Structure 1
Amino acid sequence: MTILTSSTVDTPVGAFTVLVDPDGAVRAAGFTTDTDPLLALVHPSLRAPVRALPDAGAATRAVADYLDGRLDALDAVPVRQHTGGEFRDRAWRTLREVKPGQPVTYTGFAELTGRPRAVRAAAAACAYNAVALLVPCHRVLRTDGSLGGYRWGLDVKKWLLGHERRLTTT
């Protein structure tokens, strides 16, 4: 039987929890200590019982490294989401290519996916992203440059963007 490991890391904007499968892929992540809302984000076909451990291996270390200033530390951590749609899969892969300190607009994000007219679908991919931070939907802004929405709160999104900007402009 598959069991997901949950591990929580303290951050300057609150606790951040990952749900990791036995292969080391992150199935859900977010700024919470409660695994129930995270598990609810996971597609039913990828859900499993959860056990809490202080360390979820590479995912936990990568989050700590990101917080310590190695912004590329999250890039190598595998993620596993089920979408049921080719565009959303492409959009999530594309989000992982958006560099820290270089946020894009929803329009720019749609263009990066190769479907410039799919702005609403690009926004939906952000909204349905279960793997916050590792699939960095926080790097997508409204056309006017304002923050827009973020499942974990605009204060968190603002801090993440500021953290990345500080480290990429020094």
Structure 2
Amino acid sequence: MMRHSTMDTPAGAFTAVVSGDGAVRAAGFTTDVTALLSLVHPDLAGESRPAAELGAVSTAVRSYLDGDLAALDEVPVEQRTGGEFMAHAWRVMRDIKPGTPVTYTEFARLAGRPAAVRAAAAACARNPVALFVPCHRVLRTDGTLGGYRWGLDVKTWLLDHERH
């Protein structure tokens, strides 16, 4: 059985959904648990019950918000997709360090497919575990923000937080 919890952050409400063993399956800046559960791959989907705390996941988010920008790096995530490239791209995205955003073009190169800029952008757009897999650290080639499922104001806040 999955569990979920919402916490207040300076960027807005943040909800995480975790598996029975504590791996994050969905996360985002929302209180809409149904919307988050719709992002979980069908092989990993199921019911989720509310929890006041998510143990190490909640602790890591609080530490990140308090300035320990590496606090999320070791939090396990569990996400699936039908494509090999997207799964690989999500693993590569976790290696993008705070304060050093990359462009979609650079992200495609880091993921081993320099010509696959659209596929790299799709990996960002379909990322179900925002913050833990930091799609907010990928920008348009011209340096502008591009999109973000949880809003550009949230993306701006996260990037500013990681710069300081």
Note whether the superposition's TM-score is higher than 0.5. Answer: yes
Q: Which residue of 2 aligns with 1:120?
A: 118
Which of these residues, 138, 147, 153, is aligned with residue 155 of structure 1?
153
| Correspondences of 1:18-33 after superposition (within 5 Å) | 18-33=16-31
> Does 1:73 find its partner at 2:75?
no
Shift of residue 54, structure 1, vs aligned partner = 1.1
What do the CA deviations read for 1:39-80 (whole angstroms, capped 9, x no partner)?
000111111111111101111111111000000000000101
Which of these residues, 129, 133, 141, is aligned with residue 131 of structure 1?
129
Gaps of 5+ in 2: none
What do the CA deviations read for 1:116-141 (whole angstroms, capped 9, x no partner)?
01100000000100000000000000
**Runs of 4 or more off by more than 3 Å in structure 1?**
none
Which of these residues, 13, 16, 20, is aligned with residue 14 of structure 2?
16
TM-score (normalizing by structure 1)? 0.95
Which of these residues, 46, 52, 55, is aligned with residue 54 of structure 1?
52
Question: What one-letter code is carried by the residue in structure 1 that aligns with 2:10?
Answer: P
Shift of residue 34, structure 1, vs aligned partner = 1.5
Other structure's SS at 2:143 match = coil
Question: What one-letter code is carried by the residue in structure 2 that aligns with 1:125?
Answer: A
Residues paired across the two proteins, number: 164
The worse-fitting range, judged by mean Cα deviation, of 43-52 and 144-153 is 43-52
Question: What one-letter code is carried by the residue in structure 1 that aligns with 2:47?
Answer: P
User: What percent of counterpart residues are identical?
Assistant: 68
TM-score (normalizing by structure 2)? 0.99
Gaps of 5+ in 1: none
